[in-house]
Structure 1
Amino acid sequence: MRGVSTRLGELDCKVIDGLPPGSPPELAVILCHGYGAPATDLVPVAAELMTLRPELAQRTRFVLPGAPLPLMELGMPSSRAWFPIPLELFTGQFDWDKYSREEPEGLRAARRAMMSTVSAVAAATNLPYGRIVLGGFSQGGMVATDVALRLEEPPAGLCILSGTLIVRDEWKARAEARKGLPVFQGHGRYDDLLPIQTAERLRDLLTEAGLDVEFLPFDGPHTLMPEELERMADFLMKRLEAR
């Protein structure tokens, strides 16, 4: 497995694969980390996916962008964010219904940065958007979903890991143009940060719009679980083999 650091579009990225020398990737997977994590947070996840399904390592390139916002002023010098989050989210008294209807401050800038990275990955790999999977954990899953619904062409798939519903009305309208898009969505039943009910609302919105959603609830908190990575690896293999 090889890893290099490079800038793709507006974002600094870690690029990982196990491709034979000189072989182009048949699929690209772009995974966005969550709020407050370092830019390299999902590197072990990409490595685990390639270990679970070695064919992914030999035929797929993983791109792990770092979010644009530093959190040094919050005392987290190595942490990044896609957009600011309201501090009320941590109080347990958060109005999720209201939040799901709004566009978070900073989302537009994060969207622009991610779309520039997707475009740069497509150019660097000579892959169409239909051979690029978007995904992310928590806030990264929100950004990945937003971009997947906005690209000029549908991506190969979408992986939402402990994500939630935002800009509800706009996502609902845009999802109508993504009928049939394969989606893998995992969420912990005991998530006390982004409650599973908010993930279920996102699942229902996408399903009702005609997207092909594979939903995995698991017994765990706001985290990634081994069974989730197993299912995600299988999901990526299906996208790899799809033509």
Structure 2
Amino acid sequence: MSESHNPPPVRGEFPLQVAMPWRLDGPDDPALPLVVCLHGMGMDEDQFSLLLQGLTKTPARLLVPRAPYPVEVRREGRIGASWYAYDGDQERFRRELDRTQGLVTDLVTTVEAEQRLKPRARFLLGFSQGGYCGAYLAMRNQDLFRGMIISGARVKTEFLLDEMKQAAGTGFSALLMHGDRDRSVSGERQETARQRMAEAGMDVELRTFDAGHSLGRAQVAVAREWVASRTGGGAA
């Protein structure tokens, strides 16, 4: 009597659409510089916009999307949002960054068309988780962004070797910000990233603050001055 064998399981993948609510802050001028702002894990667009209020004084407009994936913030009893899942596997991380890159660049194009924006320059600001994916997508889209502000995150320079060399020729610039008391991101690794970017010929600056893993008024003031210096705006 022959032994029966179960057939292997049939597997597939069902595509889902994700929603990315967004808000647009700042003066009603379609030509103003546009700063695309990516929040940290567990935050949402309203929380992040509250931290960034001073940045509109550049003057500039802020496009602040909510990350597409809900995440539980148990200690606060609420639901926040996340840009990607991370388990340490670097190739999987790169795929997640590629997916986020596509979502954000499509969002920027769509919002600009719907709102009839014609920004004379675009910058990307990313904090924490939003800084990791923001640096990746900004440097890989130098035709879209003139520069980036990354706070509380390390630029994954090992993923961006060609893009760093390209930035030396395009004039793409970077402001890195780090809190001296940040226990989530190593200051030494931040400095190493800055060195690698500078060695590739990039216009890059690292500013440190008496802060932890946070984005406060001091960082926002420096970011405002940095954007203004690159757009001819006057920081109030």
Task: Give the TM-score, by structure 2 length.
Answer: 0.78
Task: Answer yes or no: is 1:115 the counterpart of 2:105.
Answer: yes
Shift, 1:17, TM fit: 1.2
Amino acid at match of 2:190: A
Per the alignment, residue 136 of structure 1 pairs with 126
Per the alignment, residue 25 of structure 2 pairs with 16
Task: Answer yes or no: is 1:78 the counterpart of 2:79.
Answer: yes
Q: Aligned-pair RMSD on alpha carbons?
A: 2.6
1:174/1:101 Cα in 2 relative to 1: closer, same or farther (>3 Å)?
A: farther
Per the alignment, residue 190 of structure 1 pairs with 181
Which of 158, 164, 184 is residue 175 of structure 1 equivalent to? 164
Q: CA-to-partner distance for each residue in 1:143-162, whole Å, 9 max, x for gaps?
A: 11111111161512201011
Q: Distance in 2 between matches of 1:225 and 1:138?
A: 13
* Aligned partner of residue 216 in structure 1, secondary structure: strand
Shift, 1:101, TM fit: 6.0
Which of 13, 28, 37 is residue 31 of structure 1 equivalent to? 37
Q: Distance in 2 between matches of 1:232 and 1:114?
A: 21
Task: Give the TM-score, by structure 1 length.
Answer: 0.76
Shift, 1:27, TM fit: 0.8
* Aligned partner of residue 37 in structure 2, secondary structure: strand
* Aligned partner of residue 46 in structure 2, secondary structure: coil
Aligned partners of 1:36 and 1:71 also within 8 Å: yes
Amino acid at match of 1:205: R
Q: CA-to-partner distance for each residue in 1:152-180, whole Å, 9 max, x for gaps?
A: 615122010111133x4331222111113
Aligned length: 211
Q: Distance in 2 between matches of 1:103 and 1:202?
A: 21
Per the alignment, residue 69 of structure 2 pairs with 69
Q: CA-to-partner distance for each residue in 1:196-215, whole Å, 9 max, x for gaps?
A: 12222221222222221121
Shift, 1:77, TM fit: 4.2
* Aligned partner of residue 133 in structure 1, secondary structure: strand
Q: CA-to-partner distance for each residue in 1:21-68, whole Å, 9 max, x for gaps?
A: xx4232111110011212322111331223xxx351xxx211001111
Q: CA-to-partner distance for each residue in 1:68-114, whole Å, 9 max, x for gaps?
A: 1111497864211111234xxxxxxxxxxxx6965516222212111
Aligned partners of 1:154 and 1:178 also within 8 Å: no
1:121/1:185 Cα in 2 relative to 1: closer, same or farther (>3 Å)?
A: farther
Aligned partners of 2:52 and 2:220 also within 8 Å: no
**Rg larger for:** 2
Identity %: 22
Q: CA-to-partner distance for each residue in 1:110-160, whole Å, 9 max, x for gaps?
A: 1211121232244344436x7111111011011111111111615122010
Structure 1 unmatched runs, 5+:
1-8, 87-98
Amino acid at match of 2:67: A
* Aligned partner of residue 142 in structure 1, secondary structure: helix
Task: Answer yes or no: is 1:208 the counterpart of 2:203.
Answer: no
Task: Answer yes or no: is 1:223 the counterpart of 2:214.
Answer: yes
Amino acid at match of 2:45: A
